[in-house]
Chains A and B, each alone.
Chain A
Amino acid sequence: MAWFKKHRMPIPETPKRPKVVEGLWLKCNHCREIVYRKEVERNNKVCPKCEYHFPISVAERITMLVDLGTFKEWDAGIEPKDPLVFTDTSSYRDRLKAQQEKTGRKDAIVIGEGAVNGRRIALGVLDFSFMGGSMGSVVGEKICLAVDRALVSRNPLVLVTASGGARMQEGILSLMQMAKTSAAVARLGEAGVPFVSILGDPTFGGVTASVAMLADVIIAEPKALIGFAGPRVIEQTIKQQLPDEFQRAEFLLEHGIVDLIVERKHLKETLTTVLSHFQ
């Protein structure tokens, strides 16, 4: 499921990136133009040439969406285990430790409550910089905990995604998180509590094929790559080159798969309006 992970990881840490990115300049993941880093940062991390929305950190995302000082994190202490005692070229335990040190987080998601222009919400934000935002047991459990809270408070659930898919190192238990989170979303729906997903670049595999696609309203960020199978896997299977804008948010909108594409600078305002219709 996490086929996507290896191939296109638009995280700034990727070492293979040209030298220019390190300093004042940044290469756009979409149009490949070299752009002035400060200009991108001033512009909500949006490319001034093509409007590509760069991945942003969880903290930036929360700052951007939630009213100042209203965010309160839930269950920050829940930690991953190593149920398979998984080892490839290095052990899952070592990988986890390195990722935890790098991000200061136990796993690839933050959940909590906050207000969006005064409207209380339950919020989940996936962290792409932690093992490609992959969904293992902790991500699945915390999405369910956010749903549980939303069921009690009846506040809408908002989930912001950026993920390569299921976490291979937790094997079948990762796959089961798709069933587990979908079951939780089903109960949220039965209770009539609204659920909005916001799909960032990239969102693939097990996250797309479960919670992300089950929201009442699905919002995508401009130019975000979103899909089930990663582009490289599809290319290898069908042995053809893929169309240029394949799996971009605009492609998904055209094919009826997402409700709307919203620019980052309008995201909070649009979310507020959408939620106001579910009051």
Chain B
Amino acid sequence: MRDYLEFEQPIREIEERIEKLTGSGATRGSVQDEIRKLKTRLAHTEIELYSRLTPWQRTQLARHALRPSVLDYVGAMCRDFVELHGDRAFGDDRAIVGGLARFNGRSVMVIGHQKGKTLKERMQRNFGMPNPEGYRKALRLMKLAEKFKRPLLTFIDTPGAYPGIGAEERGQAEAIARNLLVMARLKVPIVSVVIGEGGSGGALALAVADRVLMLEHAVYSVISPEGCAAILWNNPAKAPEAAAALKMTAHDLLNLRVIDEVIPEPVGGAHRDPHGMAERAAKVLSAHLSQLEELPVAELLARRYEKYRRMGAVAEPPPPAS
């Protein structure tokens, strides 16, 4: 099953022709030849197309309906996953999932945004847009991880924190801020992976980490391209321009030193080979985690602090003439 994006039409055309020829059952040499040729062309077209994606096309891939989610990664990478629910105060926000799992032999705490795949699930999970109780559930699980000295792995995939009346009434801003503060000082290693869409503060609230990784086609930004276009261009249709201006792709963030590594995706995106993707991600995650586990807690926290303290671009005034 494939769900083609608009810019994937050239691929769709070739694949449909191959399918038609294959389905015809013709065994003539000329047909077989034609299929072989088409397959070669398909491979070339794919490599060509996906190696020069625009930031806007990447954003669409990052939001792809079939893109693997945190639960897919946990299912493929971990054993003995036990999902833990609720913030113990208001409710269980299904836009964020979390729980204990075994990753390469050790117990870890896993937390991530979950958008859902079917429309029904998407609605139950509010399209991956958390309310304050979601962030407070995450906070509770982070503290649980700290209490039992388990590393924290987070998977980022959200359009953003939910903008709603209830969210404001229950302190959306405070819930996000609290997570930033606690994650900055949590006494266990934290590795975050942006697997899809990193939407602003709602993403960052799970992504203050010793190492931040991004999948090749993931995006991470202070505001959605649509929102940015509406405000700065006064025209939401300028989203492709905004996506480029915001420098929100994995390689942009690596250049800006906001993330530590880009994890390559299969040709066409993570959803084309979820198992291969999970295997590759597991390897990279594991390497980073092992390095962090070597560090004494004080050193871990000092490095985490320094890393964030250095983020940003400012110009110092010239020293006063003496």
Binding site for B on A (CB under 8 A): 1-3, 5-6, 77-84, 86-89, 136-138, 140-141, 144, 166, 168, 170-180, 182-187, 189-190, 205-206, 208-214, 227-230, 233-234, 237-238, 240, 242-243, 246-247, 251, 255-257
Could you write out 29 A-B pairs with CB less than 8 Å apart? A6-B230, A79-B314, A80-B314, A80-B315, A81-B313, A86-B245, A89-B232, A140-B311, A141-B314, A166-B223, A170-B313, A171-B247, A171-B256, A172-B220, A172-B248, A172-B252, A176-B258, A178-B201, A178-B204, A182-B180, A183-B181, A183-B309, A189-B181, A206-B200, A228-B167, A234-B164, A237-B162, A242-B165, A247-B168
Contact of B233 among A89, A243, A256 (CB under 8 A): A89
Nearest-CB residue, chain B, relative to A82: B313
Q: How far is the CA of A233 from the CA of B160 in the complex (A)?
A: 12
A6 close to B231 (CB less than 8 A)? yes
Contacting pair A246 B168 (CB below 8 A): yes
How many angstroms from the CA of A206 to the CA of B308 in the assembled complex? 16
Q: Residue on A with the closest CB to B258? A: A172
- Interface window among B39-47, B72-80, B140-148, B169-177: B169-177
Q: Which of A168, A175, A189, A190 meets B228, CB within 8 Å?
A: A168
Question: Smallest distance from the beta carbon of B45 to chain A beta carbons, Å?
Answer: 32
Report chain A residues within 8 Å CB of B222: 1, 166, 168, 170-172, 174-175, 206
Tell me, yes or no, whether B251 is within 8 Å of chain A by CB. no
* Identity of the chain B residue whose Cβ is nearest the Cβ of A247 in the assembled complex: B168
**10 smallest beta-carbon distances between A and B, as pairs:** A77-B317, A137-B312, A229-B163, A183-B184, A182-B180, A83-B313, A88-B232, A208-B173, A228-B173, A228-B172
Q: Which of A166, A180, A189 contacts B311 (CB 8 A)?
A: A180
The number of residues on chain B lying at the interface, defined by a beta carbon within 8 Å of a beta carbon of chain A, is 59
Return the CB mask of B223-239 against A: 1 if under 8 Å, else 0. Answer: 10001101111100000
Given the known inter-chain contacts A172-B253, A234-B163, A238-B164, please indicate yes or no for A2 contacting B180, CB distance below 8 A: no
Q: Which B-chain residue is minimally distant from A240 (CB atoms)?
A: B165
Chain A residue numbers with a CB within 8 Å of B168 are 227-229, 234, 246-247
| Chain A residues in 8 Å Cβ range of B170 | 255
In the complex, A240 Cα to B204 Cα: how many Å? 28
Given the known A-B contacts A84-B246, A228-B201, are A186 and B231 also in contact in the complex, defined by CB atoms under 8 Å?
A: no
Name the CB-closest residue of A to B229.
A88
* Max chain B C-beta neighbours (<10 A), residue from A78, A138, A176, A190: A176
Partner of A179 from the list B161, B241, B248, B308 (CB cut-off 8 Å) is B308
A2 and B246 CA atoms in complex are apart in Å by 14
Cross-interface CB contact of B314 among A137, A174, A213, cutoff 8 Å: A137
Question: Interface centre among A77, A178, A243, by most B CB within 10 Å?
Answer: A178
CB distance from B253 to the nearest CB of A (A): 6
Interchain nearest-CB distance for A232 vs B (Å): 10
* A84-B246, A173-B256 known; A180+B231 contact, CB < 8 A: no
- Whether A179 contacts B311 by the Cβ 8 Å rule is yes
- Which A residues lie within 8 Å of B102 (CB)? none
Picked from A86, A242, A257, the residue with its CB within 8 Å of the CB of B174 is A257
CB <8 Å contact, B169 and A255: yes
Residues in A whose Cβ lies below 8 Å from that of B308: 176, 179-180, 183
Instruction: Establish whether residues B316 and A84, one from each chain, have CB atoms under 8 Å apart when the complex forms.
Output: no
**With known contacts A141-B312, A171-B221, A183–B185 Cβ distance under 8 A:** yes
